[in-house]
Structure 1
């Protein structure tokens, strides 16, 4: 009988109604296609292994996925959310306890009396006829799923930041090499000018001008040496451990064309819905939707059951052979009559929270669209800008060579050489910055489209 009662209780709880609002995904408040030439665009998607082609960087990212503390914290948050969901879901099922008790007492009238009892009990189980516990369970499950996407977004962000830091180190290595090259060239120029002054064909101001370029380059060498060390520290922090020098990059020029690869993909803006932050926002919205159902259920009666069944005897030895059957069944119903407006306030709060999360969801989509649009807009002009900058550097190098030959021949002043030298240095630094921007843009485009971080 007791087992039939438990089954009957579980059957009633499963057959409850749901008061959750009918969920409809909000329309994406962005254009149907990503921006680009004639409405077309080249995007990037895929797992990070499809994008990160440099073997050294690939190993560093793999290290970070196992050791980065932000990723570990996100994984712990998933475990916590899953446990909370399990705790909430447990309220859908009866709690069955087994108890064996015994007592022995002495009275003047009856002498020594012994009693023993074994019970199986269902403790105050709530029949979920109006779906309150089901709604709370759904809300906890959606919160758990949202934490899964939070962790995915954490991994995605970490991969992007680590790859960017790795490219930044390569760029600073290039700037350091350029500063050292400029310093050596300035030192050679300084020697030439000093010899020219010794023979009377150069003024003292030419020597001081050459010295200023040398000292400026020398200061830049020291500055970029500091930046390189700081870049390595940043990589170690993101990787969660010390990265061997063999896995660190050289200069930008030493990197292959496919260090960061673009993988073609479709142009529909619906691809943005796969971004982890958008998925997270939608699961938070679904959780709020379920909370409305739970708040609505508070207006309806609550039915609770307490039941037990077992055997009793005046001795333990005869408990299960000659014991008497005992049982109890105590249903109760609670009808909310006056709560001081608490139930209505909870419902209004849940509805307002859902409205806010709808706005958050739509804003997340809009922000994602802007990220992709900005990255694509930058990508359209990068190739032309890089080509122009390379041509500019080549022209300035030629200008410096000519100016130096004319100065050595005595047909030009040193100010022309000095101007050409500084202009070339600035142009070379701009070229390095553009090369870094081009690689960073590939990373940003992959991340903004929600590339896989598994």
Structure 2
């Protein structure tokens, strides 16, 4: 019995050893980066490690908002489920490389050589159909599925980074809306008070009808601005609630930007080498898609060669069911087949061509993703110093306008300046205040853009197939 079992299993063991001994996939080579070797405006001594978003965000309210968004985002949930589906698909693809054994009992009634009807029952292990992967078709399918898993894992990390930056952007934008609305409401109150005084002056003949109409126009303009900013604030609040997945309580909404904006976000360190951009999750996703396309070429090429399959069984045979247990005889079978398609109207060659073109498309998409990443990082890096200089200049302009407003009001109160001069400086001051809010918001959003462009806390070394589970975990 042992000899029979050895004779039966030896071909199966040899087939397992030969499986995958030839790989027809092209050797994978990462394409050269189609961008300059160094990023502009970056210090070579800057650290490559970027802070996590909890270190980047200094405001506790914003941290809580981001935690809620990460916990409730449907898009992020779909990305994570895509990873789980890819992991299961990889297990299915890997299982195709191994023989599938089953245990069972079969019965047959047929005439023997003498023409008499006889019963034959067999029971034991059965090998239905096992393909010898001599040319690497199954192996390359498995490699492609593994790369797809890693690509989806990187996509989940990219979705997480995008959600963090988008939610923070919406929260800061709402803060700017609140500050601009506060300034507009203050301007409206001033214009209404001025209108009241000028109307009293007009009633006693101390102001002309033209002066009154001019002040009415300014008051109406201020009222329209307040309505416009209220509508914008409400729209941005709804956008923030949509990102978070719920209506935020008032205590988590931002206050005035003017007082605390310098402490909301930490500075983002930058690195000089363009190679480090490869740690961005979207670039890792694009590269793994390229790896999968490369493996698919090997699978398509292997289909040009014969398909070799084995089947067999090992167990006990008897002419009765009870004999399988008591007096059955050992029976084993093994068979193989070699199938080579000699005419398919060029289908297999066309499949190889499709796989090669898909690989070329993946190369182009990867190179485009690299160029996009370099452009985003370069723009954000160059904008760092420029935004800071603009904030400083705008702050200086606002201080000058405030002093000019103070002096003009003193002159207006004693009758040394006309009402037109006073209203003109008031408009200039309001415009300078609104502009500073926009510039401060722009500087903060540029920090977020730089953080995302460099990959944030989601960047890292390229993913490897040896640890898909850890790579796929987005949270």
Q: How many angstroms does 1:221 deviate by?
A: 2.0
Partner SS for 1:257: helix
Where in structure 2 are the equivalents of 1:183-222 lying within 5 Å? Answer: 183-222=188-227
- Distance between the aligned counterparts of 2:39 and 2:160, measured in 1? 25
Gaps of 5+ in 1: none
- Distance between the aligned counterparts of 1:112 and 1:290, measured in 2? 54
Contact between 2:300 and 2:348, CA under 8 Å: does it hold in 1? yes
- Distance between the aligned counterparts of 1:400 and 1:353, measured in 2? 66
Contact between 1:162 and 1:239, CA under 8 Å: does it hold in 2? yes
Q: Structure 1's 294 and 43: CA in aligned 2 closer, same or farther, altered over 3 A?
A: closer
Matched, 1:260 2:249: no
- Distance between the aligned counterparts of 1:29 and 1:41, measured in 2? 23
Structure 2 partner of 1:13? 19
Contact between 2:101 and 2:126, CA under 8 Å: does it hold in 1? yes
Structure 1 partner of 2:68? 63
Which residue, out of 224, 235, 247, partners 1:230?
Answer: 235
Q: Structure 1's 270 and 417: CA in aligned 2 closer, same or farther, altered over 3 A?
A: same
Gaps of 5+ in 2: 459-474
Which residue, out of 331, 337, 342, partners 1:332?
Answer: 337
Q: How many angstroms does 1:272 deviate by?
A: 0.4
Where in structure 2 are the equivalents of 1:233-312 lying within 5 Å? Answer: 233-312=238-317
Contact between 2:43 and 2:270, CA under 8 Å: does it hold in 1? no
- Distance between the aligned counterparts of 1:418 and 1:263, measured in 2? 42
Contact between 2:25 and 2:140, CA under 8 Å: does it hold in 1? yes
Q: Structure 1's 37 and 247: CA in aligned 2 closer, same or farther, altered over 3 A?
A: closer
- Distance between the aligned counterparts of 1:62 and 1:214, measured in 2? 43
- Distance between the aligned counterparts of 1:43 and 1:133, measured in 2? 39
Structure 2 partner of 1:98? 103
Partner SS for 1:100: strand
Matched, 1:431 2:440: no
Contact between 1:173 and 1:228, CA under 8 Å: does it hold in 2? yes
Partner SS for 2:130: strand
Structure 2 partner of 1:157? 162
Matched, 1:45 2:55: no
Q: Structure 1's 343 and 60: CA in aligned 2 closer, same or farther, altered over 3 A?
A: same
Structure 1 partner of 2:379? 374
TM-score (norm 1): 0.92
Q: 1:159-213 CA deviation, whole Å, 9 max, x = no partner?
A: 1110000000100000111011111111222233233334433222222222222
Q: How many angstroms does 1:3 deviate by?
A: 4.8
- Distance between the aligned counterparts of 1:311 and 1:39, measured in 2? 74
Alignment RMSD:
2.5
Q: How many angstroms does 1:227 deviate by?
A: 2.1
- Distance between the aligned counterparts of 1:124 and 1:61, measured in 2? 52
Q: How many angstroms does 1:299 deviate by?
A: 2.1
Partner SS for 1:30: coil
Q: Structure 1's 276 and 134: CA in aligned 2 closer, same or farther, altered over 3 A?
A: same
Matched, 1:28 2:33: yes
Q: Structure 1's 116 and 28: CA in aligned 2 closer, same or farther, altered over 3 A?
A: same
Q: How many angstroms does 1:242 deviate by?
A: 2.5
Structure 1 partner of 2:465? none
Contact between 2:44 and 2:271, CA under 8 Å: does it hold in 1? no
Q: How many angstroms does 1:358 deviate by?
A: 1.2
Structure 1 partner of 2:354? 349
Structure 2 partner of 1:83? 88
Contact between 1:35 and 1:41, CA under 8 Å: does it hold in 2? no
Partner SS for 2:19: helix
Q: How many angstroms does 1:118 deviate by?
A: 1.2
Q: Structure 1's 65 and 150: CA in aligned 2 closer, same or farther, altered over 3 A?
A: same
Contact between 1:157 and 1:447, CA under 8 Å: does it hold in 2? yes
Structure 1 partner of 2:78? 73
Q: 1:111-160 CA deviation, whole Å, 9 max, x = no partner?
A: 99765431321112110011111011101111111011111111111111
- Distance between the aligned counterparts of 1:303 and 1:6, measured in 2? 12
Which residue, out of 141, 148, 172, partners 2:146?
Answer: 141
Q: How many angstroms does 1:324 deviate by?
A: 2.1
TM-score (norm 2): 0.88
Q: How many angstroms does 1:407 deviate by?
A: 3.2
Q: How many angstroms does 1:419 deviate by?
A: 1.7
Tell me whether 191-200 or 132-141 shows the greater mean CA deviation: 191-200
